[in-house]
Every structure is written in C-alpha cells, then in structure tokens.
Amino acid sequence: MGKHSEITKRFLLAAKYQEIQALQHLSSNCRTVEAIKDMIHQLQRERGMSNVFLGSKGDRFSEQREHQIENSQECEQDLRSLLKSLYLGNHDNGQSMRLLSSITFALQGMDHLPNLRDKVSALQVNTLESTNAYCRLIAGLLDVIFEAADVASDPEMTRLLVALFNFMQGKEYAGQERAWGAIGFSESHFDKDICDRIHALTDSQNQCFETFSNFADEEEQTMWASLAESEVAANIQRLRKMIDALANGDGCSSELSEVWYDIATQRIDAMQLVEEHLTTRLNQQAEIRIKQAEDELRNHELLVASLNSTPAHAGSPFTMLFDTSVRGLRGADMSEEELSESATLSAHKSFYELIRGQSQRIEEMAVSLLQQSKR
C-alpha cells in the first residue's frame, strides 16, 4: 500500500508556511512603498519651493516653504516609525540585505535634511546645490522602492510594483522639471543648459510613463490619459514653449516663478492620485494573496490530519513515478497515453494532487515573471 512519510507531509506544510511568510514580507514592503511615496511627494514640493526661495534671494515662498517643511517633517516621522516597526526588533525577519541597506542609505540622507534646510534658509547654498541635494535623497528613497519590488514573487504584485516604480520615477522627473523651471523663472532668465535639462527631463518622463502604461490596468491608463489631455497639461506645454523662446538668455518677470510652480504642482498633484490608486491596489492584492495562502494552508492541514487516520487503499504506490505530467519522471518503454491508462492512483491521490498543484503553481509563477521581465 502507498503511504506518504511524515517528513513528506511536514515539507508540504513547511512550503506553504514559507509562502505565507514571503507574502507577509511583501505586504510589509508594500506598506513601506506607500509611506515612501508620500515622503517623496513632500520632498518634491519642498525642493521646488526652496528653488523659488533661493532664486529670489529669499523674497518669494518664504512662508510657504516653512509650512511645507512642517509637512515634510510630519511625513518623515511617520516613515521612520513605520520602518522601525517593520524591520527592527526581529533580526531574522527574512528581508533582503539589499533592501535593508537601501533603507539605511535613505535614512542617512534624511538625517542631514535639517542641515540642508538651515543652509537654504541662510542662503548659503545656490539653487543647483539645493536641487542636487534633494535629488540625491529622493533617488535614495526610490532605490528602496526598487528593492522592495525586486523581492516580489507574485506575478500580479510584481506587475503593480513595476507600474508604480516607473510612474514614481516619471513623477520625480516631472518634479525635477518643476525645480529647474523655478530656477530660471525666479532668476528672471534661462540659459541653454537649463533648457537642455528641461528637454531631457521631458523625454525621460515620456519613457517612464510609457512603461507604466504597459503594466497599468485600464482604470489607471484612463486616469493618466485624462491628465495628459487636461488643461493643466496644456498649460505646461505653453510654459515649456515659453522657456524654449527664452533659451537665448532674454529676461522674463520673476513673478512667473509662482505661476510656473503652481501649474507644475497642479500636474504633479494629479499624478499623486494615480500613485495612490496604484498603492491602494497593491495593498489590496497583498491582503488577498495572504488570505488565499492561509486558506490553502488550513486545507492542507486538514487533509494531512485526515490522511494520518485513513488507511491507504491497495494499488500502485508509485503514483508520481507513473504520472507523465511530472517533468523528469518519464517511463522508458511506454508512451504517455499508455502510462496514463495504466497508472493506478493510490488512496493518497488527494495529498499527491496538493504536491503536484503546488509545484505547478511555482513553475507557472516563474514563467509569468520571466515573460513580464522581457516586456
């Protein structure tokens, strides 16, 4: 009679426990992604306001900047608390070394934010130095999201993370465009270097948003298309053309810095709605997958318990060895059709189907991930 050993049953359950643990880690990463998304948004606003402030020698956006710093600090505190609760206190939490290292680097950058803000307030840095400092910090935060996406093993969640990462990167390029435009308008002139930078940032946005569209669902694509056709997008295009016309160094009113900032901010704030839609869907998918895996674990446990108390029927004890669908276990002298007809399943068929189903699911997941990586 066929009989499955205790160690086989234990490994079946261990594999399911590991799957649940991996999904829980991914769920933690999704919460981190959401918090970092909010932190980046606040820093992008602070960067743009700081440029208007510096470019106008402190005449513009002083009060707005102080208020924005408060918003950034509140968001930073929330992020630090979340990271501490999710990743510290349990040194064997299963998270990747690269993810934890990227978090460490981002935290080091945030540790130096007070010094940067003080220098901006005292006009001790120029717009270029300030912009580069904020860009480096935001790049460090985006690296955390990249590493969080890299540990995903579920195809649907991987697809969402790829869409979100590319959209956030495109939004960061839009934020940098806002920052460089603010420099030119607040200083009342543009030069070829700034105009070239804005052109490059526009091209980079288009590339990121194209990739995002390839991975986004229909609703998100509709949201993006609506924004691209909006009056805000049309106003951005008009201002870009104005900047092009000023590339030869002609002067312009510094008051346009506030107009540029407000319109660019309207566009970026609209982008945040797409980000929020993506992160909400990401967290929902994580909860769904964890519940599915937990339900499967309970079914596995019930089945194993029933197998322990149910004697096996007479029949072939070599079910898996005669199953031609199992890769690598083929009969040497029989066709697949003959094997299919002759193989008699043991009384432990249901348990065997669990093992086979779990193996097939892992293989299908790997194939799906490989296909998405080639798109």
> Helix/strand/coil (H, E, C) string of 135-198?
HHHHHHHHHHHHHHHHCCCCHHHHHHHHHHHHHHHHHHHHHHHHHHHHHHHHCCECCHHHHHHH
234, 361: one domain: no
| 4 lies in some domain | no
339, 269: one domain: no
What is the reported pLDDT for 299?
A: 76
Domain boundary among 237, 263, 291: 291
> Mutual orientation of helices 192-215 and 155-186 as an angle, nearest 10°?
160
What is the reported pLDDT for 93?
A: 56
25, 64: one domain: yes
What is the reported pLDDT for 1?
A: 39
If phi > 0 it is left, if psi is from -120 to 50 it is alpha, else beta; for residue 328 that is: left
If phi > 0 it is left, if psi is from -120 to 50 it is alpha, else beta; for residue 254 that is: alpha
Q: Is 251 helix (H, G, I), strand (E, B) or coil?
A: strand
State the residue for tokens 């006009």.
123
What is the reported pLDDT for 201?
A: 92
35, 176: one domain: yes
What is the reported pLDDT for 346?
A: 37
238, 340: one domain: no
What is the reported pLDDT for 329?
A: 46
Q: Cα torsion for 150, 155, 156, 157, to the nearest 10°?
A: -20
> Who contacts 232 (Cβ-Cβ below 8 Å, separation ≥6)?
263, 266, 267, 270
Say if CB 285 and CB 160 are below 8 A apart. yes
Q: Is 3 helix (H, G, I), strand (E, B) or coil?
A: coil
Distance CA 345, CA 337 (A): 15
219, 340: one domain: no
| 283 lies in some domain | yes
Domain boundary among 260, 291, 322: 291
254, 323: one domain: no
What is the reported pLDDT for 190?
A: 87
Say if CB 235 and CB 263 are below 8 A apart. yes
pTM higher than 0.85: no
231, 351: one domain: no
Q: How many domains does the chain have?
A: 2
| 130 lies in some domain | yes
55, 171: one domain: yes
> Mutual orientation of helices 231-245 and 192-215 as an angle, nearest 10°?
150
**What residues make up the domain containing 364?**
311-373
241, 362: one domain: no
214, 267: one domain: yes
Q: From the CB of residue 373, how many other CB atoms can be counted at a distance below 10 Å?
A: 9
Q: How many CA atoms lie within 13 A of 82 on its CB side?
A: 19
What is the reported pLDDT for 336?
A: 52
What is the reported pLDDT for 319?
A: 55
| 226 lies in some domain | yes
Q: From the CB of residue 302, how many other CB atoms can be counted at a distance below 10 Å?
A: 10
338, 227: one domain: no
Q: Is 2 helix (H, G, I), strand (E, B) or coil?
A: coil
What is the reported pLDDT for 257?
A: 84
| 118 lies in some domain | yes
| 299 lies in some domain | no
| 230 lies in some domain | yes
Residues of the chain with pLDDT under 50: 1-2, 314-318, 329-332, 334, 338-352, 354-355, 358-359, 362, 373
What is the reported pLDDT for 326?
A: 53
| 298 lies in some domain | no
What is the reported pLDDT for 53?
A: 93
What is the reported pLDDT for 3?
A: 59
